[in-house]
Amino acid sequence: MKKALFVLAHGSKAKEADEILISIVEMLKKRDVQEFPLLGYGSLQISTPSFEEGIDALVEEGAEEIVIVPMFLFQGNHIKHDIPVELQVIKEKHPKIEFIMGKHIGADRRIADIVEERGKEAVASIL
């Protein structure tokens, strides 16, 4: 079964947000994660490709199982409501594809490490 990893972002009017998402996906591609020979991305709103468009592209590439990782820190309305509703529409469009929903980013030691590092960078920049 050909597996894919799909990174789902919020989306933004800011071009920089799209560039950051693409940069993260490129970092993942360089890791060459064997479990996921295919890698895709999309946004819940505003940005392109949309959630559905990104999934469609993976299906066209031959994905049979798609693991969706929402790049959201908090379990808010998008995680609890919007994503499941959109995913149901996508499942109906692609009934032969197996979808697995991963956890949102949430509280994670690695996030705390990044926050600490950014704080230290800020202090160093004013010295």
Any idea which residues carry the catalytic annotation? 10
Q: How far apart are CA 73 and CA 99, in angstroms?
A: 21
DSSP state, residue 106: -
* 44 in Cβ contact with 90 (< 8 Å): no
Q: How far apart are CA 59 and CA 96, in angstroms?
A: 10
Q: How far apart are CA 32 and CA 103, in angstroms?
A: 21
Length of the chain: 127
